[in-house]
Amino acid sequence: MAEKAADNSTPITLISLLAARDLVAKSLLSPKWAELQILKWLQEGLVRWRYKKVVGQPGPDRTLEKEAEELWSSPHRTLTDFSESFARKPTLYREDRVAHHLRPVRHIVVIGIYLVQEDIEFRLAQITSALHGEVPAGDLGVPSEPPPVTEESQEERPETVGEEVSAATVAKKKRVGSQERTIAELMPQLYGKALPEPLTPARLRRDIIARQKAETPKGKKPPAPPGWDACKRYLSKRRKIPRG
């Protein structure tokens, strides 16, 4: 049985995901909110956990054990079954040219997940103290409700079309999309309705940097400008661009 958290000489009691959910729900919350709270504790490393085994296919240059260690790092992409105490996480995506989605083609399944009951009871005690005004409620990290994780929600929409994409790359693609949105917001301020000719990615990036510096108060650091690649992608979607 593998352990996620560091060893502790204090005896611990391991309980299944289902038992943990019932414990939290019985104390304070409904089963639905109990699951959300447990996942947040796991993501933040506040509750220790162990598992019996991990199977599947890890991402490129990674091991099954490493994938299991980071199981809770992206809970919105991890499908957790509290009733059976297992969780599945995509580790590699392939871009679907037809649907324009990143479809998971590799997964790991972590089987036999157990949580440390004493950690859960400690967190529940904190929540109880907050209800009585003994600790600030803001320190508890009560989760907001995310969309449910399903087979469909594990798909991601890519910015470009290619071959295979690791799960770690998905986060990078989202950052790229954010850069293009920044460019789109600045374009009317820079050039109005018509694009100047010629407008190269290099010139666009220089103009954005100059605009950001001009709008940044003295003594403050300007925001990070979009990259050259993001500028090129944006222009290529608007029209054919010259080299530069």
Q: Which of 108-117, 152-161, 188-197, 231-240 has the lowest mean pLDDT?
A: 152-161
Has residue 156 got a pLDDT over 70? no
Mean pLDDT (whole number) for 195-199: 77
Q: What is the 3-state secondary structure (H, E, C) of the chain?
A: CEECCCCCCCCCCEEEHHHHHHHHHHHCCCHHHHHHHHHHHHHCCCCCEEEEEEEECCCCCCCHHHHHHCCCCCHHHCEEECCCCEEEEEEEEEEECCCCEEEEEEEEEEEEEEEEHHHHHHHHHHHHHHHCCCCCHHHCCCCCCCCCCCCHHHCECCCCCCCEEEHHHHHHHHHHHHHHHHHHHHHHHHHCCCCCCCCCHHHHHHHHHHHHHHHCCCCCCCCCCCCHHHHHHHHHHHCCCCCC
**What pLDDT sits at residue 7?**
47
Higher pLDDT, 96 or 49: 49
pLDDT for the residue 92 = 87
Q: What local confidence, expressed as pLDDT, does residue 8 receive?
A: 52
For residue 217, what pLDDT is reported?
A: 82
What pLDDT shows up at residue 51? 96
Comparing 38 with 237, the larger pLDDT belongs to: 38
> For position 66, what pLDDT does the model report?
93
Model pLDDT for residues 83-94, shown as the tens digit of each residue: 999 999 998 888
Q: List pLDDT tens digits, range 118-136.
A: 999 999 998 877 766 554 4
- pTM reported for the whole predicted model: 0.54
Average pLDDT over residues 193-203: 80
State the average pLDDT for the chain.
77
For residue range 57-76, what is the model confidence (pLDDT) as tens digits?
Answer: 998 989 999 999 999 987 77
pLDDT for res 196? 76
